Structure formats: structure tokens, C-alpha cells
A = this chain, B = another copy of it.
Amino acid sequence: MDEYGHLASFATRWNDNDVYGHVNNAVYYEAMDTTINTWLIEHGGLDLLDGPSIGVCKASSCEYTASGSYPDVLVVGLRAGRLGSTSLTWETGIFRERDGELLATGRFVHVFVDRAHRRPVPIPAALRAAVEARLVA
């Protein structure tokens, strides 16, 4: 997990497990999205309800290497990949807390847009600074 600048806990839920007894693949995207948004609120100055710009998911992907199962707690490692003028690629590693096994590796691309018209805008300066200070390797 050392390769990630930020680690966050993500608890699984009873209904995350599918009929095969595994956390459903789509839940890993919820884990990434939640970890990223929580970081944006706590460190990047994001105001979900009233801020002028919002991050919209432009692309995402995930490779699964092992299965998680409720009641596992997951740990989501987060770092910044490509930091463009209006977009930011987040890189994540999702681990099982109990034994540290890597379950999935994901990528999540945010484009920042203005709230009203949903057109791309530059990444806010405070957010850019926070990402560079904390999440760039």
C-alpha cells in the first residue's frame, strides 16, 4: 500500500455480496468514487452542494485480482496520475484490510465542469495545489 499517498477505509455491506458470495464488481467503483469525493471534500475544498465546479466521471476502469466478501473491510489506496488542465486521473488500489491482499486496481478520470452549464473548466487552483502536495508521487 506504500505506493499510495492516501489510504481510506471502506466497509462492505450485506447487500454488496452477490449470489456467488462476492462483493459485486460495481461496488468497487462505489468505493473509488466515495474515496475520491471524501478526499475532495476534506483536502481539496470541494463543496458538493454549492461549489461552482464539480467533478464528473469521464472514464473508469478496474482490474480484479482477488475477491472480497462482506463482512470484509476494504482499504482504498489513492494517488494522482495524469493531472491535466481540466481533468485528473485518479489511480487506486483496493485491498482487503484483514490481510492486505490486493483485490483490485482501478482508474477513475474526473473532468471538472461548471455546475450550471456542465462545460469543462480549469481544475480549481486550491485543488490542484492539494493534489500536487499530497497525492503526486
A positions within 8 Å CB-CB of B? 9-11, 13-15, 17-22, 24-27, 29-30, 33-34, 37-38, 41, 48-49, 54, 56-64, 67, 70-71, 118
Contact = CB atoms under 8 A, between A and B. Distances in A.
Contacts of A25: 29, 33, 57, 60
18 contacts: A9-B11, A14-B24, A14-B33, A15-B18, A15-B30, A17-B18, A19-B49, A24-B33, A25-B57, A26-B29, A41-B71, A56-B64, A57-B64, A58-B64, A59-B61, A59-B62, A61-B62, A67-B118
Given A58-B63, A63-B58, A64-B59, A26 B15 contact: yes
A61 B60 contact: yes
Instruction: Indicate how many identical chains form the complex.
Output: 4
**By DSSP majority rule, is chain A's interface helix, strand, loop, or mixed?**
mixed
Contacts of A33: 13-15, 24-26
A51 to B, nearest CB: 11
Nearest to A115: B20
B59 A63 contact: yes
